Amino acid sequence: MAKEKTRFECSSCGHSEPKWLGKCPGCGTWNSFIEIKPAKGSSTRPSAGGRSSKGSADASRPQKLSGISTEEGTRFPAGQSEIDRVLGGGVMRGASVLVGGEPGIGKSTLMLQLSSTITADGPVLYISGEESAAQLKMRADRLGIKREINVLCETEINSILKQVDRLKPVLIITDSVQTLYNTDLGMVAGTVNQIKFCSSELIDRAKLYNCPLFLVAHVTKEGNIAGPKVLEHMVDTVLYFEHGASDVRLLRAVKNRFGSIDEIGLFKMSEKGLNQVDEPASLFLVKRKGEQPAGTCTAAVYEGSRVLMMEIQALTVPAKGGLSRVFSEKIDGRRVSRVAAVLEKNLSLRFSDQDIYVNVAGGIRIDEVGTDLPLALALYSARTGIQVPSGTACSGEISLAGEIMPVAHLDRRTKTAADMGFKNFVSPENTSGLKDSINRIFGKN
Ligand code: TYD
Ligand code: MG
C-alpha cells in the first residue's frame, strides 16, 4: 500500500499543497500553511449499540421508505420559545447546529441556558474547551441553573468521543469547535482541517445516538470565519448570534434543513443571563420625549412570522464632486438607490447629487419588500426637512413606475401598528401611488 505523505494546508481557507508555500494560491493569505501529518487510525465510531436502532450494516443497504422509523428527526422543545422559533419549531433529534458569533456576544451563556431548559430527559453533555469547570459552575450559579449537567473540560477529540459513547447524551454542546484537536492531525487546534475532522466525528455521533449537537464557533468582526465557514456545509442548521442595540441580542438562522430561515430570536442580556423578549413588536421603536425628527419613518416589518415596528432613518447631504453615494448597512444599498430613483422621477426631487445615509434603529438588518414605502417617506422627509406626522407608520412595496404594491400579511401589520398606538397606517390599501401617499402624508394636494 502506498505510504500517505505529509501535506501542507492553508489555515485560512483549507487549500492543500504537497509543499510549503509562502502565499496560499487559494486565498492569497501569506504564511498560512501548516504541516498536516497523515492520519494513523481511522474513525473511532462504534459500529452499533447506541441509542439509535441503525447499525452500520443496515445503513449501507437501501431501505424501504415505508419501513423507515420516524423516531429520528422528531423534535422536542428547547424550553425557550425564541430558540424553538429559530430552529423551526423545536430541537431536532440527531441534528447538528452551528452557533456562530463574535467573542463575548453570549454564545456560552445561551448554550448553558439551553442545557438546562431542554425538555428531553437524560444526560446533557457540555464540552468546554475554553472555560474551566469552576468558571462554568460560577456562570451556572449566576444563571440560577438547577439541572444536572455533565461538564467535560477536554479538547482532544478521541477522549471526548469516549465520554460521548459512555454517556449517550440527549444533548451535546461543544464550546467551541476551534479548541478541538486530534493528535493525528497535529497539535494545533483551530485549523480548518482540525475543525472539519473533529466536527464530523461529533456530527456522526449525534446521528448515531439520535441526539442534537450544538457546535459553538467564534466568528470575528473582520470576517475571520474560514474554519466555521467550512462547517456550514456539514451541519444541518447554522445560527448566528448578533448584537442589536445595547443589550439586545438576535439569533438568526442562515441555513436550516428543517425550517425557514426567516425567523429571528430576540433576547436581552441581563445580569442573570439572556432573557427572551416579551414585547418584540415595540422593541425597536425609538422612545423620544420630543417630536419625531425629519428623516425618520416607522415601518411595520414582517420578520419571520411576526410583525416588528422599526424606525427607518435617512440623511441626505450634497455629494462631494456631485457623485452620489449610498451608505446603508441595515438595508441593501441597491434598494435604497432604487427607491431614491423612483422618488426622483415621480416627485422631481433630486437625489442623484446627494450622498444618502440610511440606518435602522435598533441595529437590525431588514430585507423585506414592505420597507420600500417607509424608506421612501424617510428619504423624502430627509431631503425636504418636512417631518412625517407623528403617529404614522407604513408598509408597502414600490414598483419602478411609482405604484405601491400589496405586501403579505397587511392585516397583521395594520393591527400591530394600531396596538402600538399608530393612528395613521399608510399601506397599499389606502393609497393609489407613491406621489399620492407623499402628498397626503406631507399635506400637499
Ligand atoms: P459569553 O456567553 O461568555 O460570550 P461568548 O461565549 O459568545 O464569548 O458572554 C460574555 C458576556 O456576557 C460578558 O461580557 C458578560 C456578559 N454576561 C452578562 O451580562 N450576564 C450574564 O449573566 C452572563 C453569564 C454574561
Ligand atoms: Mg464562550
**Measured from the CA of 271, which atom of ligand 1 is nearest?**
20
Q: Which residues pair with 214 in a beta bridge?
A: 97, 173
Planar angle of CA 182, 187, 189, nearest 5 degrees: 75
Of 3.40.50.2300, 1.20.120.450, 3.40.50.1970, 3.40.50.300, the CATH number of 76-278 is 3.40.50.300
pLDDT attached to residue 40:
58
pLDDT attached to residue 224:
57
Report whether 259 contacts 84 (CB < 8 A): no
**Cβ < 6 A, ligand 1 pocket:** 101, 103-109, 139, 142-143, 269, 271-273
Task: Name which residue sits closest to atom 8 of ligand 1, judged by CA.
Answer: 104
Q: Which regions of the chain are under pLDDT 70?
A: 1-4, 38-59, 70-73, 221-227, 444-445
Give the Å distance between the CA of 140 and the centre of ligand 1: 12
| Count of all residues that appear for the chain in the document | 445
Give the Å distance between the CA of 181 and the centre of ligand 2: 18
Q: How far is residue 173's CA from residue 68's CA, in Å, rounded to a whole number? A: 28
Q: How far is residue 210's CA from residue 198's CA, in Å, rounded to a whole number? A: 18
Give the Å distance between the CA of 90 and the centre of ligand 2: 23
Give the Å distance between the CA of 104 and the centre of ligand 2: 7
Task: Name which residue sits closest to atom 23 of ligand 1, judged by CA.
Answer: 273
Give the Å distance between the CA of 92 and the centre of ligand 2: 23
Task: Name which residue sits closest to atom 12 of ligand 1, judged by CA.
Answer: 106
Closest by CA to 322, choosing from 284, 357, 343, 351, is 351
pLDDT digits (tens, 9 = 90+) for 118-131: 988 899 999 999 99
Q: How far is residue 121's CA from residue 83's CA, in Å, rounded to a whole number? A: 18
Give me the residue label for grid cell 424501504: 64
**Measured from the CA of 101, which atom of ligand 1 is nearest?**
7
Q: Report DSSP state, residue 38.
A: P
Q: Which amino acid is at 383?
A: R
The full set of domain ranges for the chain reads 1-38, 76-278, 296-441
Task: Name which residue sits closest to atom 25 of ligand 1, judged by CA.
Answer: 273
Give the Å distance between the CA of 101 and the centre of ligand 2: 10
pLDDT attached to residue 432:
83
Q: How far is residue 373's CA from residue 367's CA, in Å, rounded to a whole number? A: 13
pLDDT digits (tens, 9 = 90+) for 98-116: 999 999 999 999 999 999 9
Nearest ligand, CA 273:
1
pLDDT attached to residue 51:
47
- R_g over Cα of the chain: 26
pLDDT digits (tens, 9 = 90+) for 260-319: 888 889 999 999 999 998 788 888 888 888 788 999 999 999 988 889 999 999 999 999
Task: Name which residue sits closest to atom 10 of ligand 1, judged by CA.
Answer: 104
Task: Name which residue sits closest to atom 13 of ligand 1, judged by CA.
Answer: 104
Reported as half-sphere exposure (CB side, CA atoms, 13 A), residue 372 has a value of 25
**Measured from the CA of 247, which atom of ligand 1 is nearest?**
19
**Per-residue CA distances from 247 to 267, 309, 371 (Å):** 8, 18, 25
Sheet with 213-218, strands from edge to edge, namely 150-152, 124-128, 171-175, 213-218, 96-101, 237-243, 248-256, 264-270, 273-276
Give the Å distance between the CA of 198 and the centre of ligand 2: 18
- Strands 424-426, 7-10: pairing is unpaired
**Measured from the CA of 105, which atom of ligand 1 is nearest?**
7
The domain made up of 296-441 has a fold known as Ribosomal Protein S5; domain 2 (3.30.230)
Q: How far is residue 47's CA from residue 405's CA, in Å, rounded to a whole number? A: 58
Give me the residue label for grid cell 439541572: 147
The pTM of this model reads: 0.79
Q: How far is residue 65's CA from residue 232's CA, in Å, rounded to a whole number? A: 28
Residue to mutate, 98, 105, 109, ligand 1, most ligand atoms under 8 Å from C-beta: 109
Report whether 168 contacts 10 (CB < 8 A): no
Q: How far is residue 345's CA from residue 95's CA, in Å, rounded to a whole number? A: 51
Give the Å distance between the CA of 247 and the centre of ligand 1: 11
Give the Å distance between the CA of 79 and the centre of ligand 1: 20
Report whether 20 contacts 35 (CB < 8 A): yes
Closest by CA to 107, choosing from 212, 217, 203, 195, is 217
Residue to mutate, 132, 145, 243, 269, ligand 1, most ligand atoms under 8 Å from C-beta: 269
